[in-house]
Structure 1
Amino acid sequence: MRLPDLEAWAIFAAVAEHNSFSAAADAIGLSKATVSKAITRLEEQIGQSLFHRTSRRLALTEAGKPLAAHAARILAEAQAAEEAARDALSAPTGRVRLAAPMSFGVRNVAPLLAEFLAAHPGIEIDLHLSDARVDIVAEGFDVALRIGDLPDSSLRGRRLCDIRTHLVAAPAYLAAHGTPTHPSELARHRVLGYSNVLAPWRFQHADGSDVAIRPQGPLIANSGEALIPTLIAGLGIARLPGFIVGPHIGSGAVVTILPDWSAAAIGLHLLTPPSALRPARVEALIAFLSGRLRDPCAEADQPARAT
């Protein structure tokens, strides 16, 4: 049996990450010639070109793109194995790259990190906040928090808790346009769309009946926070997670509508790359977040309802 050229695969992962032979060589402490030879050797072994090369540009070929993800996993698992052996003899150290949704990350994740870092002085957190759905493997994240349904994938995931959503409007909007008494009536209302809570909207009544609608409106955004000014100004109805809209419900700036119809809760998930082998610093953060982010999802707001 011929063993794979693991060094060449690791070098390929570095070149794909840095999109440069020179930058990869600097990052991994090898000469550019050594890096170039490893890529050539790997291309000869698999019988395909991995990069398009010009004097000014380096780009992955169509064959190279999926192989780069495999190479990244090979490199990550090898690094994790070495780090796990070191971590067994000492306290966890090093950097953990964590991705989280913008609003939830600012409100619910960032306030926890001081406690974690105080308990683990050797660990550094690289926190990336974005409502865009990141590619955990390709972008090199160790842990990601994601809200919403998860497509089938090779990622390892666990559901931490449910997050309630609220259908809300400003009193001024309801005074001008009337208060819906059934989800089907939302079709004639102005609806503000939070694209992270995907259409169609599904509602279930206490009697067990189920309704799905596709609302339309003047504004759609991938950030729930971006809808708040338009919502409070009385220009539409929105369905938003409690961690975004809860304070505005509590202040009376908006009220909940259709109280007898519940929307399905959306899940908060913790995701990691597919390998089960993780450094101790990553395991420490996973354990911490898994414990701390179970209770915060139970909103403390007492929703004001339209009358």
Structure 2
Amino acid sequence: MDLSALEDFQLVARHGGFGKASRASGRSKATLSRRVADLEEALGVRLIERGGQSLALTAAGRGLLSRTEGPMHEVAEALAAARDGMDTPRGLLRVAAPQLFAQVALARLAADFIALYPDVQIEAVAEDRVVDLVEERFDVAIRINPRKDSDLVGRCFAHDRLLLVTPPSIARPSDSDGDPLPVRAVVMSSHRDGDIWKTRDGRAIVPQPVLRLSSLLMVRDAVAVGAGAALLPRSIVGGMLDSGQLVTWGIAGDDVELWVLHTSRRLESPKVRAFVDFMASQYPDGSFIAQA
């Protein structure tokens, strides 16, 4: 099969039609149409429905596009590196990251990375949902405690831990026969009423929400001015604990792992490999400490 025909199919699919692909590439519509037809004949399936006013991919066309667009991009990068006679990170690197990590660390890290690799451009997207790296064309993702059965690969670059913190003005309750104790609390919007917060030393409290907020930084700031207790990462409250602005009642749950992940294709691009190595070098003692 002619790989250039596959490139022409991807060009037409990305631009939504032969005319737009022709204008974008400077190649004639007739040539593009013939190359796509050649590809369909070689595969024995129809990839594009003809006759409509706008392009419509068949199920086979959609499947071929989703499975080949990323690998073809990596092949193009590998060929460019071979032509240059070097393995230099270059091109656009798309990074997906959770909101909190993006807000307190990613901008500085991205700036430091492109200072080391000026041929790379970074586009970072902050979302708490789990993105599909292949379907959404991300190169890497920062994830918290990723699933063990994930088909992604990468490295754990830092650890964090969740603390039960309060302002000093809230008296630490004494244990009462081991029963969970009610405490005023600032919670995330996703908090489920009835949840019990437990620490490793056996303390258990029933949070009584007085504020429901959508950001951990908002929760931290509300706790700092006395609103109530909260579960917060050590990375964003360490300075406040050191200064006495906040106090901790214990560690909640297991330590949190931060990973940088990418797809497990054999062709790992230089920019992805460099970014993974860079992230692993940023926290040499393994502790994630926010810079904000």
TM above 0.5, one fold? yes
For 2:15 and 2:173, locate their aligned partners in 1 and report how far apart those are by CA, in whole Å: 55
For 1:123 and 1:216, locate their aligned partners in 2 and report how far apart those are by CA, in whole Å: 48
What residue number does 2:233 align with?
A: 241
> Is 32-41 or 69-78 further displaced after alignment?
32-41
Q: Which structure 2 residues correspond to residues 253-292 of structure 1 after superposition, within 5 A?
A: 253-257=245-249, 259=250, 261-292=251-282
Q: Quick one: which of 33, 47, 63 aligns to 2:45?
A: 47
Pair 190,115 (structure 1): closer, same or farther in 2 beyond 3 Å: closer
Pair 32,66 (structure 1): closer, same or farther in 2 beyond 3 Å: same
What residue number does 1:121 align with?
A: 118
Task: Please give the root-mean-square deviation of Cα atoms over the aligned residues, in Å.
Answer: 4.2
For 1:14 and 1:201, locate their aligned partners in 2 and report how far apart those are by CA, in whole Å: 53
For 1:205 and 1:6, locate their aligned partners in 2 and report how far apart those are by CA, in whole Å: 57
What residue number does 1:69 align with?
A: 66
Residues 162 and 297 of structure 1 are in contact (CA less than 8 Å); yes or no, is this contact kept in structure 2?
yes
For 1:28 and 1:180, locate their aligned partners in 2 and report how far apart those are by CA, in whole Å: 72
Q: Quick one: which of 135, 149, 152 aligns to 2:146?
A: 149
Q: Which runs of 5+ in 2 are unaligned?
A: none
CA deviation string 1:109-146 (max 9, x = no partner) = 33234443333333333333343433222222222222
Pair 203,188 (structure 1): closer, same or farther in 2 beyond 3 Å: closer
For 2:242 and 2:58, locate their aligned partners in 1 and report how far apart those are by CA, in whole Å: 54
What residue number does 1:102 align with?
A: 99
Residues 100 and 144 of structure 1 are in contact (CA less than 8 Å); yes or no, is this contact kept in structure 2?
yes
- Cα deviation for residue 270 of structure 1 reads 0.9
* Identity level (%): 33
Query: Does residue 162 of structure 1 match 2:159?
Result: yes
Amino acid corresponding to residue 105 of structure 1 in structure 2: A
Pair 245,181 (structure 1): closer, same or farther in 2 beyond 3 Å: farther
For 1:112 and 1:75, locate their aligned partners in 2 and report how far apart those are by CA, in whole Å: 28
Pair 115,42 (structure 1): closer, same or farther in 2 beyond 3 Å: same
- Cα deviation for residue 256 of structure 1 reads 1.6
For 2:61 and 2:203, locate their aligned partners in 1 and report how far apart those are by CA, in whole Å: 47
Amino acid corresponding to residue 141 of structure 1 in structure 2: F
Residues 236 and 290 of structure 2 are in contact (CA less than 8 Å); yes or no, is this contact kept in structure 1?
no
For 1:237 and 1:13, locate their aligned partners in 2 and report how far apart those are by CA, in whole Å: 53
For 1:181 and 1:59, locate their aligned partners in 2 and report how far apart those are by CA, in whole Å: 66
* TM-score, length basis structure 2: 0.73
Aligned length: 286
Q: Which runs of 5+ in 1 are unaligned?
A: 302-307
* TM-score, length basis structure 1: 0.70
- Cα deviation for residue 186 of structure 1 reads 6.6
For 2:203 and 2:52, locate their aligned partners in 1 and report how far apart those are by CA, in whole Å: 58
Pair 220,148 (structure 1): closer, same or farther in 2 beyond 3 Å: farther
